Amino acid sequence: MGNKQTIFTAQQLDAYQDCTYFTRKEILRLFYRYRDLAPQLVPLDYTNHPDVKLPYELIGSMPELKDNPFRQRIAEVFSEDGQGNMTLNDFLDMFSVLSEMAPRDLKAYYAFKIYDFNDDDFICKSDLEKTLNKLTRNELTEDEVRMVCEKVIDEADLDNDGRLSLEDFQHMIVRAPDFLRYRNSDT
Partner 1 sequence: MPPKRKNHLVIDIENVGMDVDADFDSESEDATRRRSRNRKAKPQRKARQVSDEEEEDEDEDKSPKRRGQRRRTKSRGDEDEDEDNGQQSVANKRSKASRRRGAKNSRKEQSDEEDESDKESKQKRGRAVSKKSKEEQNNEKKEKDKGKNGDNKNNKKKKAEKNSSPVSSDDSDEESEEMSEGELEALKEQVEEKKKLIATIRNKPWRMQKRLSVLKEAQDFVERFEGALGKGKGRRLYAFKVMMTKKLIKFNRDFENFKTACIPWEMKIKEVESHFGSSVASYFIFLRWMYGLNLILFGFMFGLVVMPEVLMGLPYGSIPRKTVPRSDQATEMDLSVLLDFGGYCQYSVLFYGYYNSDRTIGVLKFRLPLSYLLTSVGIFGYSLLVVIRMMARNADVGGDGGDDADFTFSWKMFTSWDYLIGNPETADNKYASITTSFKESIVDEQENQKDENIHLRRFCRVSANVLILCSLGGSGYLIYYVVKRSQDFAKMDPSSLSWFEKNEVEFVMSLLGLVCPPLFESIAELEDYHPRIALKWQLGRIFALFLGNLYTFLFALFDEVNGKLEEELSIKNSSEWALSQYYANYSAFYNTTVVPPPNVSPADVIRGPCWETAVGQEFVKLTVSDVEVTFLTILIGDFVRAFIVRFLNYCWCWDLEAGFPSYGEFDISGNVLGLVFNQGMIWMGAFYAPGLIGINVLRLLTSMYFQCWAVMACNVPHERVFKASKSNNFYMGLLLLVLFLSILPVIYTIMTMPPSFDCGPFSGQQKMYDVVMETINQDLPAFMGTIFSYASNPGLIMPAVLLMVLAIYYLNTVSKAYQQANADLKKKMKTARDDEKNRRNNKDSTNQMMKDLEELLPNKSLLPPPFEEDTPSETVSVKNSKQTKTKPGPTGKGVNVEKEVSLAAPNPRRPVTQAPVQRAGPPMNARGAHAEPGRGRGRGGPPRR
H or E stretch covering 90: helix 88-98
* Min dist. Cβ of residue 161 to partner 1 (A): 5
Q: Which of 33, 125, 130, 171 binds partner 1 (CB under 8 A)?
A: 171
* Min dist. Cβ of residue 68 to partner 1 (A): 7
Query: Looking only at residues 22 through 81 of this chain, which bind partner 1 when binding is defined by CB under 8 A?
Result: 23-26, 63-64, 66-70, 80
Query: Looking only at residues 89 through 148 of this chain, which bind partner 1 when binding is defined by CB under 8 A?
Result: 89-90, 92-93, 96, 98, 103-106, 108-111, 115, 120-122, 128, 131-132, 135-137, 139-140, 144, 147-148
* Min dist. Cβ of residue 6 to partner 1 (A): 19
Q: How many residues bind partner 1 (CB under 8 A)?
A: 81
Q: Which of 3, 4, 18, 40 binds partner 1 (CB under 8 A)?
A: 18
* Min dist. Cβ of residue 178 to partner 1 (A): 4
Identify which of residues 40 and 88 has a Cβ nearer to partner 1 in the complex.
88
Give the per-residue SS3 of 172-185: HHCCCCCCCCCCCC
Identify which of residues 4 and 181 has a Cβ nearer to partner 1 in the complex.
181
* Min dist. Cβ of residue 136 to partner 1 (A): 4
With binding defined as CB under 8 A, does residue 152 bind partner 1?
yes
Identify which of residues 44 and 158 has a Cβ nearer to partner 1 in the complex.
158
| Residue 134 near residue 125, CB atoms below 8 Å | no
Concatenated DSSP letters of the chain:
--S---SS-HHHHHHHHHHSS--HHHHHHHHHHHHHH-TTTS-S--TT-----B-HHHHHTSHHHHT-TTHHHHHHHHSTTSSS-B-HHHHHHHHHHHSTTS-HHHHHHHHHHHH-TT-SSSB-HHHHHHHHHHHHTT-S-HHHHHHHHHHHHHHH-SS-SSSB-HHHHHHHHTT-TTSTTTT----
